[in-house]
Structure 1
Amino acid sequence: MTSLEIRQFSCRSDNFGVLVHAPDAGTTIAIDTPEEGPILAALEEAGWRLTHILTTHHHADHVAANEALKARFDATIYGPAKERAKIPGIDKAVEGGDVVDVGGVRVEVIDTPGHTLGEVSYYLPEGKAVFAGDALFSLGCGRLFEGDAAMLWESLKRLRALPDETMLYCGHEYTATNARCALSIDSQNLALQERVKEVETLRVEHKSTLPVQLGREKKTNPFLRADDPELQAAMGMSDADPAAVFAALRAKRDQY
């Protein structure tokens, strides 16, 4: 089995760009295209040629360089079927449950609507990595721009079902703010306290807080624990419907 090389880098003000490279196949995949310049720089530094783009959702800061990169490299663009009309340059539409061969790389598609109605995430078992776009963030989740809380809660449960050793890659560097909100809710959580200290140190050193192991997120991210009795009690919502707890969590995060 070929190991995958994954490189993450900053784009725009707080977006992440990610490249996934399969050395034997010569395949290089961009996860979303927030900005052309940093992607080209990362490709040049690594000595890779872009072959594919996986788009998570239609927002401009995730598709901005689709057409420019496609024109430059003749890259094949995958994107969510439900947002096909909004994805610039899309060649192949995918939906949850699909397993696709992307230049020799196995990609499992997971439906994760809520932030937008058609958003998908991409799980690469060979790389033990999931690319969740703006559905799930470290210690947080996406804003409900198009869907509702119940929809996004179901989406995050699908991501939560992935193996603990899976590395979570997200669309933005929002962890420090998410951490402050999470700690205000779940202040007695020792695993969360440890993660918050780590995040604070990383940000002081101008380092990224991502990727992070999904197993850690399952213990620390309140949005993955809306059905956890301890988290429900911390919210003053013991025995409440998890979707209602999730909605209350999202409303609290919206205030930060």
Structure 2
Amino acid sequence: MTAKIIDQGVKLRCITRRIVRMCAPQISAIPIFENNYVWVIRPDPSQPDVYLVDPGEVVPVISFLTKHQLLPKAILVTHRHRDHIEGIKEITHHWPIPVYGPDSAAIPQVTHPLIEGDVLRLDDLAFHIMAVPGHTNEHIAFFLPASAQCTPRAAPLVFCGDALFAGGCGRMFDGPADLMWNSLCKLAALPDNTLIYCTHEYTLANLEFAVAVEPDNTAIHERLKQTRVLREEARITLPSNILMEKRTNPFLRCHLDGVKNFVCPEGVNNYSPAQVFALLRALKDNWAS
């Protein structure tokens, strides 16, 4: 399958908005289940049109849309897990809207399949599709470059599901480790100011593990302190950004001696970063803080 451009908007309207609107899209979070977020992308705050990312539960989504008088125009899906797709059927029953997601038989709710290299145009936003397998084989991320937004001051955005978390990463349900490591490296190569909209509020637990991995990393200690304050106040810790993750997320630092020494104190000079990552992920899977 060749890469394609999918245009969901009207070009004339897009050109008009580029003249009158000089702001980045408004992103809101709908908490669902114990620690998930459904992201709501509102390209133009003066208009009711929104796009939903990974709606795993329907009632909170409909409540939020009704309360704020918003109109969903499409759904974006990153991967197949129930807590990311369970609400799609009922949402699309209320609003017959397209569903964009991985080209996978595991997600029959997807009406418009996407692959690496596709560009998804929604309103005047252009999302570049990245394949980031490892957590699951079909996992994709939606990257919105700064150049694809209507203001020179906008930061890039990435909706990465469960591939990369604030301070951590997803478990390897499909793996293998080198595949997941390559996906994390691909995300880490995005511009440093890219805002990371992952789908779980795992930041506190992730950073408690990160401190154990790199006890001398002052950036992790400072971030952990700030995160504790946010969570004590029941505030969201997202979005993060790529630079912060490269400084404090051990799963992006598997090439460094501090992380290598943690996973294998007797020495890992011959271990590749992917091998270190595999050991680190296994330790985190069984970690009790």
Common topology (TM > 0.5): yes
Deviations 1:133-173 (A, max 9, x none): 01111111111111211111000111101111111111111
Cα distance between partner residues in 2 of 1:76 and 1:151: 30
Number of the residue aligned with 1:76: 98
Number of the residue aligned with 1:4: 25
- Which of 123, 127, 150 is the equivalent residue of 1:107? 127
Number of the residue aligned with 1:156: 184
What's the secondary structure of 1:58's corresponding residue? coil
Structure 1, 108-117 or 96-105: larger mean CA deviation: 96-105
Deviations 1:72-123 (A, max 9, x none): 1111100111x2x222421110011211212332011111101111100111
Counterpart of 1:17, as a letter, is V
Shift in Å, 1:203: 1.2
Deviations 1:157-202 (A, max 9, x none): 1110111111111111111111111110111111111111111111
1:87 aligns with 2:107: yes
What's the secondary structure of 1:62's corresponding residue? helix
- Which of 50, 59, 67 is the equivalent residue of 1:28? 50
What's the secondary structure of 1:208's corresponding residue? coil
RMSD, matched Cα: 1.7
State the structure with more CA Rg: 2
Q: Is the 8 A contact 1:114 1:147 kept in 2?
A: yes
Normalised by the length of structure 2, the TM-score is 0.83
Cα distance between partner residues in 2 of 1:239 and 1:138: 29
- Which of 60, 73, 77 is the equivalent residue of 1:38? 60
What's the secondary structure of 2:174's corresponding residue? coil
Q: Is the 8 A contact 1:229 1:239 kept in 2?
A: no
Instruction: Note the residue ranges of structure 2 that are not aligned, 5 or more in a row.
Output: 1-17, 150-154
Shift in Å, 1:238: 4.1
What's the secondary structure of 1:169's corresponding residue? strand
Cα distance between partner residues in 2 of 1:88 and 1:33: 15
Q: Is the 8 A contact 2:213 2:258 kept in 1?
A: no
Cα distance between partner residues in 1 of 2:233 and 2:144: 30
Q: Is the 8 A contact 1:50 1:75 kept in 2?
A: yes
Cα distance between partner residues in 2 of 1:238 and 1:230: 12
Cα distance between partner residues in 1 of 2:189 and 2:197: 16
1:192 aligns with 2:223: no
Cα distance between partner residues in 1 of 2:91 and 2:252: 35
1:241 aligns with 2:241: no
What's the secondary structure of 2:120's corresponding residue? strand
What's the secondary structure of 2:161's corresponding residue? coil
Number of the residue aligned with 2:8: none
Cα distance between partner residues in 1 of 2:86 and 2:227: 29
Shift in Å, 1:231: 3.1
Q: Is the 8 A contact 1:164 1:214 kept in 2?
A: yes
